[in-house]
Amino acid sequence: MGALSEGALGVWSTGSVGVARADPESMGAGGYMERYRTGLNGSRENGQGERPAGRRIGMAVVGLGGAVATTAVAGVELIKRGLIEKHGLPLAALDEDLVEDLAPYEGIVFGGWDLSGDDLASAASGHGVLDGERFEAAKPALSTIRPWPAFGNEEFCRKVSGDNVVAVSGNAEAVEKIREDLRRFGEENDLDGLVLVNLASTEKRTDSTLPVFATPEAFEEGIKADDPAVGPAMLYAYAAILEGVPYVNFTPSVGADVPALVKLAEEGGVPVAGKDGKTGQTMLKTALAPALKARALTVDSWFSANILGNRDGQALDDPDSLASKVETKGSVLDQILGYEVPNHVVRIDYYPPRGDNKEAWDNIDLVGFMGARMQLKINFLCGDSILAAPLAIELARLSDLAKRRGEGGVQEHLGMFFKAPMTKDLVSVPEHALHKQEENLVRWLSGESPNGSTNGHATAGHKAPTTREG
């Protein structure tokens, strides 16, 4: 049994951990990142007989019956059974030395809440993400997991409802019940660590500058008074932080990203990270924009369209939820390029026939040498949950390690996983360029301080270029 110690804050405390440092002598040629890559399965599956440590961590998921969550559960099950390789898991491609302190994929145990009480095999079958063979292999394990009754609020998410809900007298009781669920999950599964990951439907935008979010005291009063500005995502975040459980927000909803909860997380030594997983179109955008900048190709306009037909798309069919998503997707380009891109349009449309196979188009208008105009078109036919699930899994492992390293508060080095990375003060502009974010993560893994994970200001030192010659 892992060391579970009771305390006012931080029931889940596991002591410190040694930090593996990269040895510059042993680094080969190539860029900073290249020194760390060993191929998809690293050394642990290459016949050298090494096994990862036996750490067991719990992933308590809000939205456990959703497409991303059920894909994560199925993927880990197939890894446990040695049936799949580790494609799509970013940390599986890093050098063993860097990731040896992380809990192994095989050590992840899933539990969590959903408004739907369907077992995960039924839920996954409805999402249609897994093909026949993979679904059949994962089905026995999926069918044994049923989501715990959840805490919802239709005011915050109008398009998604369900009857697997807990009747509570108010928000204070909801927070208590979530804390009890976390404790029970840990005790029943003999866990060494626990992380709460929000994978629930997108909630409407919330004004995070309201006084109720300013201090822990104001927030606590707001909970007691059932302040209508406090949504379900915040209740789960608050409960996790009080319980000393690291919190990850993979959704655009407001979770721990208000001053009150960040302060509480810092004081309690609880890692928090978010928000909104950077999986498809925005991931490509933040990889491509630095290349265009490096060649001084001026981005005159950038039009991004998406169609998706899964339940996430249905949730986003509500204008209030859509506004949250468009906000997190919209802010990345200006920070990378150093100027405001005119006509940066992001559209997301619900189109049921597409299911979880999201399609994204980008049209980029560029200006090059002598004012010559060019266009770049991207068409990404992706698996929405196939891209997202591995990132959620990696975030759980990294947050567990951050907790053991005693790093409370906002985890800026996890920025590469998010469309709208949280910064420690919640107001500085984050780094969005994917390659820089990845370097920051590797530095953190190797025990160095992440470098420049916060940009601090979006446009200082840059002159807005003209888009036409003359």
Ligand X SMILES: NC(=O)c1ccc[n+]([C@@H]2O[C@H](COP(=O)([O-])OP(=O)(O)OC[C@H]3O[C@@H](n4cnc5c(N)ncnc54)[C@H](O)[C@@H]3O)[C@@H](O)[C@H]2O)c1
What's the min distance (Å) between Cβ of 176 and ligand X?
16
Block residue for tokens 């798309």: 313
- The tokens describing 97, both together, are 């030395």
Interface with ligand X (CB under 6 A), residue from 10, 42, 58, 63:
63
355: amino acid identity, one letter? G
Q: Does 274 bind ligand X (CB under 6 A)?
A: no
Between helix 216-224 and helix 232-243 the angle, nearest 10°, is 120
Stretch that binds ligand X, among 174-182, 264-272, 381-389, 422-430 (CB under 6 A): 381-389
Q: Does 257 bind ligand X (CB under 6 A)?
A: no
Indicate the helix (H) or strand (E) that contains 301: strand 298-308
Residue nearest to ligand X (CB): 66
What's the min distance (Å) between Cβ of 65 and ligand X?
4
Block residue for tokens 């998406």: 306
Q: Please, which of residues 157-176 interact with ligand X by CB under 6 A?
A: 157, 160, 162
Interface with ligand X (CB under 6 A), residue from 77, 181, 257, 312:
312
The whole-angstrom separation of Cα 411 and Cα 398 is 10
Do residues 151 and 178 make contact, with C-beta atoms less than 8 angstroms apart?
yes
What count of other Cβ atoms lies within 10 Å of the Cβ of residue 156?
A: 25
Interface with ligand X (CB under 6 A), residue from 206, 249, 310, 411:
310
Q: What angle do CA 378, 382, 387 make, to 5 degrees?
A: 120
What's the min distance (Å) between Cβ of 433 and ligand X?
19
370 CB burial (10 A radius; 0-12, 13-18, 19+): exposed
What's the min distance (Å) between Cβ of 237 and ligand X?
12
Q: Please, which of residues 85-124 interact with ligand X by CB under 6 A?
A: 113-116
How many residues contact ligand X, by CB under 6 A? 37
* Residue 86 or 311 with smaller CB distance to ligand X: 311
Stretch that binds ligand X, among 78-86, 198-206, 237-245, 403-411 (CB under 6 A): 198-206
Q: Does 62 bind ligand X (CB under 6 A)?
A: yes
Q: Does 304 bind ligand X (CB under 6 A)?
A: no
Q: Does 417 bind ligand X (CB under 6 A)?
A: no
Q: Does 434 bind ligand X (CB under 6 A)?
A: no
The whole-angstrom separation of Cα 36 and Cα 442 is 8
The whole-angstrom separation of Cα 358 and Cα 419 is 17
Q: Does 232 bind ligand X (CB under 6 A)?
A: yes
Backbone angles phi, psi at 142, to 5 degrees: -60, -35
Stretch that binds ligand X, among 247-255, 297-305, 344-352, 434-442 (CB under 6 A): 247-255
146: amino acid identity, one letter? R
Backbone angles phi, psi at 362, to 5 degrees: -130, 135
Stretch that binds ligand X, among 32-40, 306-314, 346-354, 428-436 (CB under 6 A): 306-314
How many helices (DSSP H) and strands (DSSP E) are in the chain? 14, 10
What's the min distance (Å) between Cβ of 69 and ligand X?
6
What's the min distance (Å) between Cβ of 168 and ligand X?
12
Q: Does 213 bind ligand X (CB under 6 A)?
A: no
Do residues 316 and 202 make contact, with C-beta atoms less than 8 angstroms apart?
yes
Contacts of 134 (CB under 8 A, 6+ apart): 74, 78, 83, 84
The whole-angstrom separation of Cα 167 and Cα 396 is 29
* Residue 13 or 251 with smaller CB distance to ligand X: 251
Stretch that binds ligand X, among 17-25, 75-83, 221-229, 277-285 (CB under 6 A): 277-285
* Residue 18 or 352 with smaller CB distance to ligand X: 352
Radius of gyration, CA atoms only, the chain:
22
Q: Which residues bind ligand X (CB under 6 A)?
A: 62-63, 65-69, 113-116, 150-152, 157, 160, 162, 199-202, 232, 250-252, 276-277, 279-280, 310-312, 315, 384-385, 387-388
